A and B are shown apart, each in its own frame.
Chain A
Amino acid sequence: MMADELVNVTIDGLPVSVPKGTTIIEAAKMAGILVPHYCYHPSLSSPAVCRMCLVEVEKAPKLMPACVTQVAEGQVVNVDNEKAKKAREGVLELLLINHPLDCPICDQAGECELQNYVFQEGRAGTRYTEYPKRYSPVEDFGPDVLYVPNRCILCTRCVRFMEEVAEEPVLNVSERGDRAYIGIAAEQLLDHPWSGNVVDLCPVGSLISKDFLHKARAWDLDKTASVCPGCTQGCNITIDTRDDVVVRLRPRPNLEVNRHFMCDYGRMNYRWMNRGDRIEAPLIREGTRHMATDWDTALDRMGQLLRGISGPAAILATGRASTESLGLVRRMLSRLSVTAVVQVPTGEEAPLAGVPNLALRAERAANLAGAELLGYQADWEEGLRALPAAGLVIVLDADLSQSEQAMIAAAPASVVVMSTILPEGLRNAELVLPITTMAEENGTYVNRDHRIQRYNQAKSQPGMARPAWWIAGEVIAGPGPSPSAPATAAEAFELLGEGWPIFSGISYADMGYTGLVLGESSDARRERQPADLGAQ
């Protein structure tokens, strides 16, 4: 759609100009008006079945469904209007006659669109007093999804997701009339690698996650915008924490990366964020044992160590380290000849068929592209081969097998472990510096399409753990008060521009919450952005 073909409409008295072909519901969104809806979803087809988004269009004989009615020049639309409100009240009353009102034990309560709209404009009481509610037992749909038919409002978002987006149509509407329910194909499970999205798509508590079942109330959760550390796709996510414990990951809309979705692998990959066996203080080796110390002492020791090394160095880094940490740790060794490698675990690629360029990638390292831009190699073996000749080995939170730990321990080099967990086999390390996980710091990842995206701190760090970029920044600045050392991740990122021009000229503010593509001009970016109106 050409952006210059604009149509002028008035919605609840607010004039708005939108591209031709826009639906009323999206045009209203642009005017800042949310038309209540259930079946409509910007990433799915619109069946117009819930009839919740009926709005008054002046001169039309009937109320029109805002989700499928396209705007027309000069159209006057009324959402907050008596006729439309009465229709919505009617829909809500009908949706509630068989809805169990078990909100106190329902996981969806607090983020339930039925609850929200009923509070907003539903009837105060029910007139369905003389009959029992329809009852059907809970069904197990698959590895993580339970179906609670009693709560279902038959919006069919789940059916459409599996059919149109996952392209594995295992869900259906079975039966007719008020006996209808969401059915699952015989002998099938809802075990597609992206099937967890049906839980997010469900506007009520009908499809729920076993993993999250009764774990927390929605209103007790703190929500943090982040990026999935699971693979090189870089899906935008929200980390939900309760009292500093990560309880759930959910997709955050980014039309250019993951639309409204994330895969089940990424969704379930959060337990490590809550590990209790963390290093909480810097450790220095005194003789044969480690002693806890303060940061000044640890940083001094690191400085001394660096000055004493003349031979080559090796960095063995995790693929989910931030761009800032990878960059500054690399720069900390700029005096030396360095072999820097990044760890890239692999797994099976699992595309989401209905969305172009969206998959759980085989490369399970969120910042592989960032690491490569910073001079790290994806050839892990190369790093291991560098060990015997190295004078210094830095382990940057890599997951090491026992044999790898033994190889490092056997190397003649001084070993510095900058990690969240101290590997058992590296208890002879010179220096152990506790660092934060991506859930405990601000930072950026560069995805496979060179889109740099920010993630934010979702929980507090354990003990004295600090981001690796902070440690490297302090070491580079040298002992004593050092205004040149970065105090924030944004400052650390700005330092990267000096050594790697691809990062220069952009700031955290430029990246916003959906990131930007490195090397792309701002004009090209603007050109691309209005293309899709599905943004929420």
Chain B
Amino acid sequence: MGYPHPSHPKENPVLSKHFGDPEARSFDGWVKRGGYEGLRKVLRMSPEAVIEEIKTSGLRGRGGAGFPTGLKWSLMPKPDGRPHYLVCNADESEPGTFKDREIMRWTPHQLLEGCAIAAYAIQAERCYIYIRGEFTDPFQIMQQAVEEATAKGALGDNLLGSGKRIEVILHRGAGAYICGEETAMLNSIEGKRGNPRIKPPYPAQAGLFGMPTTINNVETLAAVPHIVIRGGEWYKGLSLSNPKSTGTKLISVCGHIQRPGNYEVTMGTPMKELIYDMCGGMRPGRTLKAVIPGGSSVPIMSAAEADECLLDYEGVVAKGSMLGSAGMIVMDDSTDMVYQIWRLARFYAHESCAQCTQCREGTAWSTRILERILAGKGKQEHFQLLLDLSDNMTGKTICVLSDSCAAPIVSGIQKFRHEFEAYIQGARVPAMAAV
């Protein structure tokens, strides 16, 4: 449901069905709503059969990359005595994204059940949930849920009497955006500086503490119990457009919109319906200018592109961007695009882990150029310089943070060049003091 707003008929609440319902938070309340039935069912299946079911469902990673979840699980090596680990990425720090927070806040057991099933499937006995440090409320709720589930035997040494063991450890981040990158997260859990690792080796080969590890996003894991109970075929059927994008997706909508919030839609729903029907459209007298559809790391879409866009992995790519984490930032005609792009670049410059040269220096320099333009000191050469820098920052580093900084800059210059020109030619009053 479009929490904090009531559910819209065009929504398809599966994961968000109980958002806003405090009773669903408790173990008993969750069981009353069908909770832990999925886990009970899975414990009678083989791990391979669980993975097959997830493969059938077509579930793809909800953290941003969209990697098929069943395939990811199947990449874990056969048990050879070494521990396997499941890591749940609950660091949700992508600007514009706030869906995992709501899952943890309202339905912690939905996530824990998903963790238990996934851990069972990849034959891990330990699951780390890495929660963003700023999420105080969700952390406390999750902590209580883990204690309760352990006390009731849904987690712990004897899972629902099956003899299986799954321990869940909550690990709080310390405020670094980069720790949401999966390999940086592994370093962070290990107590090291949160720097992304070089791949290969991939986490399934050598992940947490050097052991085979699977990392899944909160929303991905929360979808798992539903798939197990209702079947992979059911989930696969939830698709309005491209059969490669299945199920429902929580979209966090923020910005210049009447009803910002989380909306759960079937894959392939037109973006137009989300913006104008579910979210109530733009503010009075305002028109849509741009959308960043997948969290701040993806290219900016123009209003025309957004109007024709279907909300699934392929649909957004077809309109020149990416679905990412589906944190949708909606901007109306009052928006200063140069300022917005500068704000994003500044974020990446602040959060760069400083390993790779292009990212460490490139994000900061790009930010300074944008500052310069905003201060009315822009020059025509700055276009070429920004594009050169962005090219140098794309596809050349260990992780994609620097690519993420370049994406809004390049798409911004492509689609809103006239706004940059207005600053450079003095047609627009400087938005910042000279630097």
Contact = CB atoms under 8 A, between A and B. Distances in A.
Q: Say whether A associates with B.
A: yes
A52 B354 CA distance: 15
Contacts of B350: 176-177
A477 B416 CA distance: 93
Given A178-B364, A180-B354, A51 B397 contact: yes
B169 interface: no
A255 interface: no
Interface string B176-192: 10100000000000000
A155 to B, nearest CB: 9
Given A50-B357, A131-B368, A177 B392 contact: no
A33 B355 CA distance: 26
A172 B391 CA distance: 30
B363 A177 contact: yes
B179 to A, nearest CB: 11
A48 interface: yes
A51 B396 contact: yes
Contacts of A154: 354-355, 357, 360
Contact of B361 (A65, A95, A173): A95
B361 A97 contact: yes
A175 interface: yes
Contacts of B259: none
Nearest to B363: A177
Interface residues of B, number: 33
B151 interface: no
A93 B178 CA distance: 25
B352 A177 contact: yes
A97 B396 contact: no
Interface string B395-429: 11110000000000000000000000000000000
Interface residues of A, number: 33
A112 interface: no
Given A51-B358, A62-B395, A154-B360, A97 B365 contact: yes
B304 interface: no
Given A51-B396, A68-B198, A91 B352 contact: no
Contacts of A65: 198
Contacts of B356: 49-51
A97 B357 CA distance: 11
Interface string A56-71: 0000001101001000
B360 A172 contact: no
B324 to A, nearest CB: 20
A127 B357 contact: no
B385 interface: yes
A339 B397 CA distance: 67
Most B CB within 10 A of own CB, among A49, A50, A62: A49
A93 B198 CA distance: 24
Contacts of B176: 176
A47 interface: yes
10 contacts: A50-B357, A62-B395, A68-B198, A87-B392, A91-B357, A95-B361, A176-B350, A177-B353, A177-B363, A177-B364
Cβ-closest 7 pairs across A and B: A180-B354, A90-B392, A94-B361, A178-B364, A177-B352, A49-B355, A62-B395
